Structure 1
Amino acid sequence: MENLTFNSPVLQLEGLIVSEQNLYPTFLFFLVFYVLIMVSNIGIVLLIAMERSLHEPMYILFCNLPFNDVFGNSVVVPRLMVDVLRPTSEHYISYRECVTQAFCYHTYTTASYTILMAMAFDRYVAICNPLRYTTIMTNKMVVKLTASAWGAALLLVSILLGLTIRLNRCGTLIANPFCDNASLFKLSCENPYINNVYGLAYTAAVLGSSLGCVALTYAKITAVCLTTKNKTLNKKALKTCSTHLTVYLIMWMSGFIMVILHRFSGYSDYRKGAALLFHIGPGILNPVIYALQCTEIRQLMLKILCSKKLMSR
């Protein structure tokens, strides 16, 4: 029946395969993590926006990360929670909604890497050129870095999805918990050769350039730390770089695994796990790793909590 369908306006999501006794625990699991992601990330953005002492390039660039986590998780997780409670036969989604979700999902994933590249540049200037930091990292430079991070993501993803929606479709089943580009062009009854080539080039460009940028940046930072016997500088560099690298490696590995497993249909459950890790993992870890390890943000949060305790007495 599926092969007789041609450009169907309605698609079916495979979703997560959950046993009946695990439906509500799975729903509760995603609900708790979604609420935590929303509260922690939105809270940090509001804290930075309201506190003048945090209106510095490092914190302003960092705001892109929690904003992106809120955006990316809001696109995927609510729909996923609803589908968990529905029978598999009722996991329907319109083609337009599916394309929109895929566009937002890939924008989120690509922006995750480009934003970290912008943050890596900021850390490089702060540690390797501390005397010129204020002259290089001006408000204009912050705007340029932010616009470049989001602009590059939107351009690359627009081409990616543009190549997919031109294809005629003979299938209706999205073998994934949510819509993405690879699942969409697998529905095609045409030769997706161009899509495969661009998809691989796009993946190599995003993962490769981000890995190269981060590796080069931190190699130079390491060289400065080794040649400069400044314990304060070295401690600061180790603290900021280790947090940055932890989040980056989690994202890079889960993204790489997800791309590889899309080529092997027999490992769909592992691919779904990697996709969910990519979404939920950074959204939870970013506020903890970045914000709580940042002395200024941690002190402000403690100050707010203490003031609330005093007011409640």
Structure 2
Amino acid sequence: MDNNVIEVTFFLVEAALIWLVIIGNGTTIIVQSLNRSLFDEVSSHLIVNLTIADLFIGLAYLHMVVIFLTNPANKYACLVCVSCMHFAITASFYATLAIAINRYVAIVYPLKYTKYVARRMVNAMIVASWCAAVLISSVLLYWNNYDPEKGNCKDAVPKLYYEVIWTPNFMVTWFSIFVLYLEIAKATRAHMERSKARSRGTTEGNNTSDKSSNLVFLFLGCFTICWLPHVVTRLLKLSLHLDDRSTTMIIVNQTSVLMAMSNGVINPLIYAWKTPAYREAYQRVFKPKALNDNNHNNNLEVRTNPDVSTTRISRMWLRFSTDDINV
């Protein structure tokens, strides 16, 4: 297949993903802004933080496409564009790590959660993560390989920057998230085993434990599958000096880019939409009539079946994955 056909195909898919990222995260931000009650929980600030970072990735990538198509020979436009992209990606990494830290404290130290994760501390962590993202990405403004004669913006990022700054930053972030979610899974399983022993071996404890473990590894797996191939591909290409114009490298490189971009589409689904409070907020904005009917049915169910509320309380531990640690 001709390389131009392959590049055009990937470009169209990337364009669709860009708009999915912007629309998905933009819609989530709108829903959050119209439902101020979501901000009552400290953990919701971290979801907003991740949503904004992913929205910036979509906008930065759209900006990069415009620059490449219109004026790739403009040095300052190129460097600002590349720096903004790395800034948004780094902010998204740190936002994902902040959510993992929040969940770790909530599960492993539930009695000290309100002490360790106060609103002021969460806001300070968010500000610090964005400042760190600015510091790391701004390096490209004065350390770059931009050649005015070639005007090739794609090669503006130095190889050493990827090897010394970007890749180690990702690996430290990814490893931290991996360890935190592994500890969350261990703590959850231990809690379920104790609950199973107290309930004399009912099957509900096993099912709840399996669901909790699956959801924990869903968060970790999505981040790993989306970003790790892109980082490895980029590092191997630079280290082995692989030919960018070969058909194989075009397919591998563009596929890894698509996988990385898809993380911005997946995050609103697994961090916001899967949360009951956010689903209710979505319905309140887009389907208010359906929400009223649903609330009426829930109230009727509770009145006719007193055991419903007891069952919900017994499953509160499972909600750490789907309700963003509202414990």
Does 1:125 pair with 2:88? no
Q: Choose the corresponding residue for 1:266, options 243, 248, 251.
A: 243
Aligned to 2:143, which of 158, 163, 187?
163
Which of 205, 210, 219 does residue 244 from structure 1 map onto? Answer: 219
SS of alignment partner, residue 92 of structure 1: coil
Question: 2:12 and 2:242 mapped to 1: Cα distance?
Answer: 29
Q: Which has the higher helix share?
A: 2
Structure 2 residue 116 is matched with structure 1 residue 136: yes
Match of 2:82 among 102, 112, 133: 102
Output the aligned Cα RMSD. Answer: 3.3
Does residue 275 (structure 1) correspond to residue 257 (structure 2)? The answer is yes
**In the alignment, does 2:195 pair up with 1:219?**
no
Residue 152 in structure 1 maps to residue 105 in structure 2: no
1:261 Cα deviation after fit: 2.3
Give the deviation of 1:94 after TM superposition.
0.5
CA distance in 2, matches of 1:91, 1:17: 23
- How many positions carry a matched residue from both structures? 271
Greater shift in the superposed pair: 246-255 or 141-150: 246-255
Report sequence identity in percent: 20
Which structure would you say has the larger Rg? Answer: 2
Residues in 1 aligned to 2:258 and 2:65: alpha-carbon distance in whole angstroms: 10
Moved more, 132-141 or 90-99: 90-99
State how 1:81-96 maps to structure 2 within 5 Å.
92-96=72-76
CA distance change for structure 1 residues 154 and 78 in 2, over 3 Å: closer, same or farther? closer
Distance of 2:74 and 2:285 partners within structure 1: 45
Change (3 A) 1:35 1:309: farther
Q: Counterpart amino acid of 2:85?
A: Y
Whether the 8 Å contact between 2:222 and 2:263 is mirrored in structure 1 is yes
Secondary structure of 1:262's counterpart equals helix
**Cα distance, 1:82 vs. partner?**
8.3
**Aligned partners of 2:256 and 2:175: how far apart in 1?**
22
Closer, same or farther in 2 for the Cα pair 1:64/1:262, shift >3 Å?
farther
Report the CA distance shift for 1:138/1:234 in structure 2 as closer, same or farther (over 3 A): farther
C-alpha change, 1:100 and 1:198, in structure 2 (3 Å) is: closer
Which residue number in structure 1 is paired with residue 56 of structure 2?
71
Cα contact 2:72–2:151 (8 A) shared by 1: no
Q: In 2, Cα distance between the equivalents of 1:272 and 1:26?
A: 7
Q: CA separation in 1, counterparts of 2:164 and 2:28?
A: 35
User: Which residue number corresponds to residue 166 of structure 2?
Assistant: 203
Distance 1:146 1:116 in 2: 11
Look up the equivalent residue of 2:273 and give its one-letter code: L
Determine the C-alpha separation between the residues in 2 that align with 1:223 and 1:173: 52
Report the equivalent of 1:11.
Answer: none
Gaps of 5+ in 1: 1-15, 186-194
Structure 2 unaligned runs (5+)? 196-204, 293-327
**Is the Cα–Cα contact under 8 Å of residues 117 and 213 in structure 1 kept in the other structure?**
yes
Deviation at 1:120, TM superposition (A): 0.8
- Give the CA deviation at 1:17: 5.5
Partner of 1:288: 269
**How many Å separate the matches in 2 of 1:172 and 1:120?**
43
Q: In the aligned structure 2, how far is the partner of 1:49 from the partner of 1:310?
A: 18
Shift, 1:217, TM fit: 0.9
1:300 and 2:281 matched: yes
Letter of the 1:57 partner, please give it.
V
> Structure 1 residues 163, 78: CA separation in 2 closer, same or farther (over 3 Å shift)?
closer
Give, in angstroms, the shift of residue 26 of structure 1.
Answer: 6.5
The correspondence for 2:18, drawn from 22, 34, 59, is 34
Q: Tell me if the contact between 1:107 and 1:154 (Cα under 8 Å) persists in the aligned partners.
A: yes
Q: Deviations over 1:163-220 (max 9, x none)?
A: 22xx68475153xxxx45xx115xxxxxxxxx54454121343122112211221232
Amino acid in the other structure paired with 1:184? A
TM-score scaled by length of structure 2: 0.70
